[in-house]
Amino acid sequence: MAAATSTADSSFSRGAEPGVPLIGLTGTMGAGKSTALEILAQLGAKTLCTDRVVHELYNCDRLRDLLVERWGEEVAPGGVVNRDAVAARIFSDPAERSWLESTIWPLVGERIAVWYALVREQEPPPVAAIVETPLLFESGMDKACDATIAILTQPELVAERTGDRKHVARSKREERQLSAEEKARQATFVVHNDGSVAELRAELAQVLARLHGE
Protein backbone atom coordinates (compact mmCIF):
# COMPACT_ATOMS: atom_id res chain seq x y z
CA MET A 1 0.00 0.00 0.00
CA ALA A 2 1.30 3.46 -0.85
CA ALA A 3 2.00 5.68 2.12
CA ALA A 4 3.32 9.23 2.25
CA THR A 5 5.45 10.41 5.13
CA SER A 6 7.42 13.57 5.71
CA THR A 7 11.00 13.78 6.93
CA ALA A 8 10.41 17.44 7.70
CA ASP A 9 7.64 19.26 9.56
CA SER A 10 4.38 17.41 8.88
CA SER A 11 2.66 20.78 8.34
CA PHE A 12 5.16 21.77 5.66
CA SER A 13 4.21 24.77 3.53
CA ARG A 14 6.01 27.53 1.69
CA GLY A 15 4.69 30.08 4.15
CA ALA A 16 4.31 33.55 2.70
CA GLU A 17 6.59 32.90 -0.24
CA PRO A 18 4.56 33.53 -3.41
CA GLY A 19 4.58 31.68 -6.69
CA VAL A 20 4.62 28.12 -7.91
CA PRO A 21 6.64 25.73 -5.70
CA LEU A 22 9.51 23.94 -7.44
CA ILE A 23 9.53 20.29 -6.35
CA GLY A 24 12.21 17.72 -7.06
CA LEU A 25 10.96 14.17 -7.63
CA THR A 26 13.28 11.21 -7.31
CA GLY A 27 13.29 7.59 -6.18
CA THR A 28 14.89 4.21 -6.53
CA MET A 29 14.99 2.31 -9.83
CA GLY A 30 11.68 0.60 -10.55
CA ALA A 31 9.84 2.52 -7.84
CA GLY A 32 7.44 4.20 -10.26
CA LYS A 33 8.85 7.70 -10.71
CA SER A 34 7.45 8.03 -14.23
CA THR A 35 4.00 6.93 -13.10
CA ALA A 36 4.16 9.39 -10.21
CA LEU A 37 5.12 12.18 -12.61
CA GLU A 38 2.14 11.39 -14.84
CA ILE A 39 -0.20 11.39 -11.85
CA LEU A 40 1.15 14.72 -10.60
CA ALA A 41 0.47 16.22 -14.05
CA GLN A 42 -3.11 14.92 -13.85
CA LEU A 43 -3.42 16.57 -10.43
CA GLY A 44 -2.60 19.97 -11.87
CA ALA A 45 1.19 20.21 -11.70
CA LYS A 46 3.51 21.11 -14.56
CA THR A 47 6.13 18.42 -14.97
CA LEU A 48 9.57 17.98 -16.49
CA CYS A 49 11.72 14.84 -16.79
CA THR A 50 15.46 15.49 -16.75
CA ASP A 51 16.13 12.20 -18.55
CA ARG A 52 14.20 13.64 -21.48
CA VAL A 53 16.12 16.90 -21.19
CA VAL A 54 19.40 14.98 -21.32
CA HIS A 55 18.14 13.02 -24.33
CA GLU A 56 17.37 16.30 -26.10
CA LEU A 57 20.79 17.67 -25.20
CA TYR A 58 22.47 14.63 -26.75
CA ASN A 59 20.73 15.56 -30.00
CA CYS A 60 22.09 19.11 -29.89
CA ASP A 61 25.28 20.16 -31.65
CA ARG A 62 26.60 21.90 -28.53
CA LEU A 63 26.91 18.78 -26.38
CA ARG A 64 27.71 16.44 -29.26
CA ASP A 65 30.71 18.56 -30.22
CA LEU A 66 31.99 18.56 -26.65
CA LEU A 67 31.71 14.76 -26.48
CA VAL A 68 33.51 14.29 -29.79
CA GLU A 69 36.24 16.69 -28.73
CA ARG A 70 36.72 14.69 -25.53
CA TRP A 71 36.34 11.11 -26.79
CA GLY A 72 36.54 11.12 -30.55
CA GLU A 73 34.17 10.51 -33.45
CA GLU A 74 33.39 6.96 -32.29
CA VAL A 75 30.96 8.28 -29.64
CA ALA A 76 28.93 10.07 -32.31
CA PRO A 77 29.07 8.04 -35.54
CA GLY A 78 27.42 9.91 -38.36
CA GLY A 79 26.99 12.92 -36.09
CA VAL A 80 24.58 11.09 -33.77
CA VAL A 81 25.61 10.49 -30.15
CA ASN A 82 25.69 6.80 -29.21
CA ARG A 83 24.56 6.84 -25.60
CA ASP A 84 25.72 3.27 -24.99
CA ALA A 85 29.22 4.30 -26.06
CA VAL A 86 29.07 7.27 -23.71
CA ALA A 87 27.83 5.06 -20.86
CA ALA A 88 30.64 2.57 -21.44
CA ARG A 89 33.20 5.35 -21.06
CA ILE A 90 31.80 7.07 -17.99
CA PHE A 91 31.06 3.92 -16.01
CA SER A 92 34.53 2.50 -16.60
CA ASP A 93 36.33 5.68 -15.56
CA PRO A 94 35.19 7.86 -12.62
CA ALA A 95 37.19 10.82 -13.96
CA GLU A 96 35.32 10.71 -17.26
CA ARG A 97 32.01 10.40 -15.42
CA SER A 98 32.88 13.48 -13.37
CA TRP A 99 33.78 15.37 -16.52
CA LEU A 100 30.47 14.50 -18.18
CA GLU A 101 28.46 15.41 -15.10
CA SER A 102 30.24 18.75 -14.76
CA THR A 103 29.52 19.37 -18.45
CA ILE A 104 25.94 18.23 -18.73
CA TRP A 105 24.35 19.25 -15.43
CA PRO A 106 24.83 23.01 -15.98
CA LEU A 107 23.11 22.57 -19.37
CA VAL A 108 20.25 20.70 -17.71
CA GLY A 109 20.05 23.45 -15.10
CA GLU A 110 19.74 26.06 -17.84
CA ARG A 111 16.84 24.16 -19.42
CA ILE A 112 15.08 23.81 -16.08
CA ALA A 113 15.48 27.52 -15.31
CA VAL A 114 13.92 28.52 -18.65
CA TRP A 115 11.08 26.02 -18.19
CA TYR A 116 10.38 27.12 -14.61
CA ALA A 117 10.29 30.78 -15.60
CA LEU A 118 7.61 29.97 -18.17
CA VAL A 119 5.64 27.89 -15.67
CA ARG A 120 5.61 30.74 -13.15
CA GLU A 121 4.06 33.05 -15.73
CA GLN A 122 1.07 30.80 -16.36
CA GLU A 123 -2.42 31.89 -15.35
CA PRO A 124 -3.96 30.35 -13.44
CA PRO A 125 -0.79 29.07 -11.79
CA PRO A 126 -0.31 25.30 -11.57
CA VAL A 127 -0.27 23.69 -8.15
CA ALA A 128 3.46 22.95 -8.48
CA ALA A 129 6.34 22.61 -10.90
CA ILE A 130 7.69 19.06 -10.61
CA VAL A 131 11.11 18.06 -11.94
CA GLU A 132 11.87 14.33 -12.03
CA THR A 133 15.58 13.73 -11.50
CA PRO A 134 16.97 10.25 -10.72
CA LEU A 135 20.16 11.83 -9.30
CA LEU A 136 18.38 14.68 -7.53
CA PHE A 137 20.41 14.56 -4.32
CA GLU A 138 23.57 13.20 -5.92
CA SER A 139 23.71 16.15 -8.35
CA GLY A 140 22.89 18.73 -5.69
CA MET A 141 19.82 19.87 -7.64
CA ASP A 142 17.66 19.44 -4.54
CA LYS A 143 19.19 22.64 -3.16
CA ALA A 144 17.31 24.65 -5.79
CA CYS A 145 13.96 23.07 -4.85
CA ASP A 146 11.35 24.21 -2.37
CA ALA A 147 10.72 20.58 -1.41
CA THR A 148 11.53 17.06 -2.59
CA ILE A 149 9.60 13.81 -3.00
CA ALA A 150 11.19 10.36 -2.95
CA ILE A 151 9.25 7.46 -4.47
CA LEU A 152 10.34 4.16 -2.94
CA THR A 153 9.16 0.57 -3.21
CA GLN A 154 9.90 -2.85 -1.83
CA PRO A 155 12.88 -4.53 -3.58
CA GLU A 156 10.83 -7.57 -4.55
CA LEU A 157 8.48 -5.37 -6.59
CA VAL A 158 11.26 -3.85 -8.70
CA ALA A 159 11.84 -6.92 -10.89
CA GLU A 160 8.10 -7.27 -11.40
CA ARG A 161 7.78 -3.67 -12.58
CA THR A 162 10.91 -3.47 -14.71
CA GLY A 163 10.59 -6.95 -16.24
CA ASP A 164 13.58 -7.87 -18.39
CA ARG A 165 14.52 -4.26 -19.09
CA LYS A 166 18.30 -4.08 -19.56
CA HIS A 167 20.78 -1.37 -20.44
CA VAL A 168 24.52 -0.82 -20.47
CA ALA A 169 26.19 -0.96 -17.07
CA ARG A 170 22.91 -1.12 -15.14
CA SER A 171 24.66 -2.21 -11.96
CA LYS A 172 26.96 0.80 -12.24
CA ARG A 173 23.96 3.11 -12.58
CA GLU A 174 22.46 1.62 -9.44
CA GLU A 175 25.74 2.03 -7.57
CA ARG A 176 25.82 5.70 -8.57
CA GLN A 177 22.53 6.34 -6.78
CA LEU A 178 22.03 6.82 -3.08
CA SER A 179 20.38 4.01 -1.18
CA ALA A 180 16.65 4.04 -0.56
CA GLU A 181 17.33 4.78 3.10
CA GLU A 182 19.46 7.80 2.26
CA LYS A 183 16.95 9.14 -0.26
CA ALA A 184 14.25 8.80 2.39
CA ARG A 185 16.41 10.62 4.93
CA GLN A 186 17.05 13.56 2.64
CA ALA A 187 13.59 13.91 1.08
CA THR A 188 10.92 16.27 2.38
CA PHE A 189 8.23 13.72 1.53
CA VAL A 190 8.53 9.96 1.11
CA VAL A 191 5.93 7.93 -0.78
CA HIS A 192 6.15 4.14 -0.52
CA ASN A 193 4.65 2.91 -3.78
CA ASP A 194 3.84 -0.67 -2.84
CA GLY A 195 0.19 -0.76 -3.84
CA SER A 196 -2.14 0.29 -6.63
CA VAL A 197 -2.00 3.30 -8.92
CA ALA A 198 -5.11 4.63 -7.19
CA GLU A 199 -3.32 4.47 -3.82
CA LEU A 200 -0.29 6.22 -5.29
CA ARG A 201 -2.55 8.96 -6.69
CA ALA A 202 -4.20 9.49 -3.30
CA GLU A 203 -0.87 9.83 -1.52
CA LEU A 204 0.52 12.26 -4.11
CA ALA A 205 -2.63 14.35 -3.85
CA GLN A 206 -2.03 14.47 -0.11
CA VAL A 207 1.55 15.65 -0.65
CA LEU A 208 0.36 18.47 -2.94
CA ALA A 209 -2.20 19.51 -0.36
CA ARG A 210 0.45 19.62 2.34
CA LEU A 211 2.69 21.72 0.12
CA HIS A 212 -0.03 24.36 0.16
CA GLY A 213 -0.68 24.05 3.88
CA GLU A 214 -4.01 22.26 3.51
- Give the amino acid at 177: Q
Domains of the chain: 3-211 (3.40.50.300)
Q: pLDDT digits over 169-189, tens only?
A: 445 556 668 899 999 999 999
* CA dihedral (40, 146, 154, 2) positive or negative: negative
Q: Is 62 exposed, middle or buried (0-12, 13-18, 19+ CB in 10 A)?
A: exposed
Q: pLDDT digits over 109-162, tens only?
A: 999 999 999 999 999 999 999 999 999 999 889 999 999 999 998 877 766 666
Full strand arrangement of the beta sheet holding 46-49 = 3-6, 189-192, 147-152, 22-27, 129-132, 46-49
What's the whole-number average pLDDT of the chain? 86
Is the full-model pTM beyond 0.85? no
User: C-alpha distances in angstroms, 45 versus 92, 114, 116, 194, 213?
Assistant: 38, 17, 12, 23, 16
